[in-house]
Amino acid sequence: FKKMFGQCLVFVVLSTLRLTLANDDPSLNQFRGHILKNNGKYEIVTSLFDSYKETDSKMDNILATGFWNQTYNITGWSVLEIKTSENQTNIDQVYAAGLLEGQFTRELTGMQWQNTINEICFNRTDFCGKLKEFFLIQLNWIYTQIDSHPNDDYWHQINLLLVQLNGLIDGNQNISRGPRKQLEDPLGFL
């Protein structure tokens, strides 16, 4: 009985170790991708690192390429690298960078959301209504400043930031609605 118990225990430990190591296989945590623009539409292409098909560097419709090493469960860190094409407009570059980041980080962002603010408005509808109203007032002021100062470098950068944020939201939701500064529902996640 002791020998059989010992063999079963060793089997369970080794099986568990094998499963743990298989789940921590670095090749399953590395992704590559790019964003294409064809006929005004943005296409998100991502895959595991090993199965990624390299793009032709001469293609002029590639807006961004990227690498995501999702090793936070192993090292406590993840690595995100995104490069945009210099020959594209600023708007296309930031939107594509946001799309790719949102697509790569979907799982991690979802876990962060679940762990920190998922239920912030639970039984607090009055507070969240006021918070949403506050955000809308602030955002409308920002949109007015961007529209009122089209040649100002500062407001140009703020506009690019909002376009990139919308790209990140679109990538996270696995859709590409195109570059825009307006946030449809700034607290829709609550």
State yes or no: pLDDT of 122 exceeds 50.
yes
Residue 110: predicted pLDDT:
86
User: What is the layout of strands, in order, in the sheet containing 41-48?
Assistant: 41-48, 30-38, 62-69, 79-84
Question: pLDDT, tens digit, for every residue of 23-62?
Answer: 556 556 888 899 999 999 999 988 777 766 777 766 789 9
The top-level CATH class assigned to 23-172 is mainly alpha
| Residue 138 banded pLDDT, cuts 50, 70, 90 | very high
Using the predicted structure, report yes or no on whether residue 133 has a pLDDT greater than 80: yes
For residue 24, the model assigns a pLDDT of 56
| Average pLDDT across the chain, whole number | 83
pLDDT of 124: 86
pLDDT category of residue 117 using cuts at 50, 70 and 90: confident
Residue 8: pLDDT band with limits 50, 70, 90: very low
Residue 23 is predicted with a pLDDT of: 52
- Summarize pLDDT for 97-116 with one digit per residue, the tens: 999 999 999 988 888 888 88
Model confidence at 184, pLDDT cuts 50, 70, 90, reads confident
Residue percentage of the chain with pLDDT more than 90: 52
Query: Strands 62-69 and 30-38: what pairing?
Result: antiparallel
Among 11-25, 59-73, 125-139, name the one with the lowest average pLDDT. Answer: 11-25
Residue with the larger pLDDT of the pair 74 and 66: 66
Weakest-pLDDT range from 56-60, 62-66, 83-87, 121-125:
56-60
The candidate with the shortest Cα–Cα distance to 40, out of 86, 89, 83, is: 89
Give the 3-state DSSP-derived string for the chain, with helices as H, strands as E and coil as C: CHHHHHHHHHHHHHHHHHHHHHHCCHHHCEEEEEEEEECCEEEEEEEEHHHCCCCCCCCCCEEEEEEEECCHHHHCCCEEEEEECCCCCHHHHHHHHHHHHHHHCHHHHHHHHHHHCCCCCCCCHHHHHHHHHHHHHHHHHHHHHHHHCCCCHHHHHHHHHHHHHHHHHHHHCCCCCCCCCCCCCCCCCC
